[in-house]
Amino acid sequence: MKLLFVDCCISQRGKESRTLALAKAYIDAFRAAHPDWEVERADPMDLPPLTAEFLDDRDTRKGEFSAPMFAAARQFQSADSIVVAAPYWDLSYPAQLKTYIEHISANGLCYHYTEQGCQGDCKAEKLVYLTSGGDFEGEDSVGVLHWKQLCKMFGIETFTYVFAGGMDIDPVKTPELLAQACEKARSLV
Ligand SMILES: Cc1cc2nc3c(=O)[nH]c(=O)nc-3n(C[C@H](O)[C@H](O)[C@H](O)COP(=O)(O)O)c2cc1C
């Protein structure tokens, strides 16, 4: 069994990234609870933005999902469980994560259309979205809403998330707020 870790923890803090701390808390608890599972990392930074040429190429290959251009989509489709981690940037998330979403949104592989509309084809039953923001969590945060809707499209039944908010409000309180958010992430395993 495989947990896919979509690692979009781009940060000027490097290993001190709060978003990465959340991801580590979740993954460590996951490994402890599922010692027989493999954890595989996906790196959105490896993927190029989509171009018209890429889309034409993708359209002509429809059904040939063994092509390298579908590698990210194949990996996402076949994962048994998924955790996505990305900082809260400009009210959503880094552009690289959107590029990743565009790569995994492969019609015929991760979802397909029927007369009733979109049907999801991903194997995972659960996806957890982890993010940290300078401000406190607002209503209908775009990253949270987007992943919730993507889970519906991909046929992933359970969506949960942690928003570690208020990270840049008062530096004295940041460690405690982050520790609380990490505890919440552990509890989602
Ligand atoms: C490019 C950029 C954009 C950001 N935009 C927002 C924002 O719109 N709202 C907010 O509350 N915080 C924003 N922040 C602050 C980060 O969300 C916050 O510092 C977060 O904890 C960073 O996570 P990290 O430690 O993993 O880098 C932004 C930070 C950066 C670098």
| Rg, the chain, Cα only | 17
Q: Mean pLDDT per 10-residue run, the chain (189 residues)?
A: 98 97 98 98 96 94 90 98 98 98 97 96 98 96 97 98 98 98 98
The per-residue pLDDT for 39 is 98
Q: What is the pLDDT of residues 120-131, one digit of tens each?
A: 999 999 999 999
Q: How far is the CA of 167 from the centre of ligand 1 (A)?
A: 8
Question: What is the value of pTM for the model shown?
Answer: 0.98
CA of 98 relative to ligand 1 center, distance in Å: 16
Render pLDDT for 114-167 as a digit per residue (tens, 0 to 9): 999 999 999 999 999 999 999 999 998 999 999 999 999 999 999 999 999 999
Structural domains of the chain, ranges and CATH numbers in brackets? 2-187 (3.40.50.360)
Please return the burial class of 56, using the count of CB atoms within 10 Å of its CB with bins 0-12, 13-18 and 19+: exposed
Enumerate residues lining ligand 1, CB below 6 A: 9, 11, 13, 17-20, 87-91, 132-135, 167-168
Q: Are residues 132 and 178 in contact, defined by beta-carbon separation less than 8 angstroms? A: yes
Atom of ligand 1 nearest to the CA of 168: 19
What are the Cα distances from residue 103, in Å, to 69, 114, 173, 189? 8, 21, 38, 27
Q: Name the residue with the closest Cα to ligand 1, atom 10.
A: 134
pLDDT of residue 153: 98
CA nearest ligand 1 atom 1, residue: 89
Residue 130: its pLDDT value, please? 98
